[in-house]
């Protein structure tokens, strides 16, 4: 595994137009932040040795290199989900490659269902912590020597970056919520009882991504910042039928606000 990571990193290093220290993962319906990126190079995942290929509708599946917020950045337009059938090692492979390329800060976005009764559809939730409710930990197996066998998770999401996001949001007059993201394996959305359970367990929002990537990023010492767009609600009588299209639509509506915060954060971090 580690050999493949190094091989992919070496392949990308030969082609990279710049040396980014910041990476972004653009989640469902949030690919439009990519439009704000001054693109220098876009490489389809299928062209990158050892990279899994994204299959879900709404994901372009390419690695972007360019500039955003006055900084060199790289971005994953589309990510790999466990529910697609990838192993946790495959889901988090790009993060390991990012680390080898010199990434120090990771920005992650996703769409999620709100379990917090004060949330509304279209809210931006800054992730303050997560609960790994997926069936496997991506660090299962022999330890890759980027971090300790038993990594600390007391600050999975950088407190400093959360504060920065809050001040930028306040300056721009954008309302943001804070909350705990609970990651499930999917691909089912939750039953009403599951939403209730996840709320009781401490989740403010539930989704099918992000947790594996952040665990691996932290194992590599990469600072993480995450945002969920609340695309549907799993709260009491507010629970309605939800489709992938609904999720994409709600995510699209929120995306300019999220993009404005992310871009300014990259500029200042």
**Residues in the site for ligand HPA, rule: CB under 6 A?**
111-113, 189-190, 206-208, 231-232, 234, 242, 247
233 within 8 A of 117, measured Cβ to Cβ: no
Shortest Cβ distance from residue 114 to ligand HPA (Å)? 8
The encoded tokens of residue 105 equal 């800060």
Residue 176 C-beta: closest distance to ligand HPA, Å: 18
Q: Give the SS3 label for residue 37.
A: coil
User: For ligand HPA, which is the closer residue by CB, 129 or 190?
Assistant: 190
Minimum distance from CB of 187 to ligand HPA (Å)?
9
Cα 139 to chain centroid distance, Å, stands at 17
Phi/psi at 108 (nearest 5 deg)? Answer: -125, 140
Specify the residue, 159 or 241, whose C-beta has the smaller distance to ligand HPA: 241
Please, which residues bridge with residue 25 across strands? 76, 108
Sequence-ordered strand ranges (E) for 61-143: 62-68, 71-77, 105-114, 124-132
The helix (run of H) or strand (run of E) holding residue 228 is strand 223-233
C-alpha 181/C-alpha 228 separation (Å) is: 8
Would you state the structure tokens that stand for residue 129, as one six-digit string?
């912590």
58 in Cβ contact with 108 (< 8 Å): no
- 65 near 96, Cβ under 8 Å? no
> Whole-number minimum distance, CB 254 to ligand HPA, in Å?
12
> Nearer Cβ to ligand HPA, position 95 or 112?
112
Is the distance from CB of 111 to CB of 247 less than 8 angstroms? yes
Residue nearest to ligand HPA (CB): 113
Alpha carbons 177 and 230: distance in angstroms, whole number = 10
Residue number, 20 or 234, with CB nearest to ligand HPA? 234
Give me the least distance between CB of 141 and ligand HPA, in Å please.
Answer: 26
Which lies closer to ligand HPA via its Cβ, residue 67 or residue 249?
Answer: 249
Residues 6+ apart with CB under 8 A from 136: 82, 88
Min dist CB 124 to ligand HPA, Å, is 14
**C-beta closer to ligand HPA: residue 73 or 126:** 126
As measured in angstroms, the least distance from the Cβ of 123 to ligand HPA is: 12
Which is closer to ligand HPA, CB of 141 or CB of 187? 187
Which residues partner with 78 through β-bridges?
none
């Amino acid at each position: 595994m580690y050999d493949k990571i190094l091989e992919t990193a070496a392949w990308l290093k030969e082609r990279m137009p710049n040396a980014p220290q910041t990476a972004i993962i653009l989640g469902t319906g949030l690919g439009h932040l990519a439009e704000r990126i001054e693109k220098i190079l876009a490489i389809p995942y299928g062209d990158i040795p050892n990279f899994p290929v994204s299959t879900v509708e709404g994901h372009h599946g390419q690695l972007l290199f360019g500039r955003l917020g006055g900084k060199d950045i790289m971005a994953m337009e589309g990510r790999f989900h466990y529910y697609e059938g990838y192993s946790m090692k495959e889901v988090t492979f790009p993060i390991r490659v990012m680390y080898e390329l010199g990434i120090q800060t990771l920005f992650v976005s996703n769409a999620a269902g709100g379990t917090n009764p004060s949330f509304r559809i279209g809210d931006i939730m800054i992730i303050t912590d997560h609960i790994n409710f997926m069936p496997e930990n991506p660090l299962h197996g022999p330890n890759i020597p980027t971090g300790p066998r038993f990594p600390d998770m007391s600050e999975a999401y950088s407190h400093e970056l959360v504060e920065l996001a809050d001040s930028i949001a306040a300056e721009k007059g954008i309302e943001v919520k804070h909350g705990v993201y609970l990651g499930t394996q999917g691909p089912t959305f939750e039953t009403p009882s599951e939403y209730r359970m996840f709320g009781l367990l401490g989740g403010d929002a539930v989704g099918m991504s992000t947790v594996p990537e952040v665990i691996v990023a932290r194992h590599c010492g990469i600072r993480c910042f995450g945002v969920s767009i609340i695309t549907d609600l799993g709260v009491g009588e507010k629970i309605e039928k939800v489709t992938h299209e609904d999720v994409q639509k709600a995510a699209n509506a929120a995306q300019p606000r999220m993009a404005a915060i992310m871009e300014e954060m990259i500029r200042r971090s």
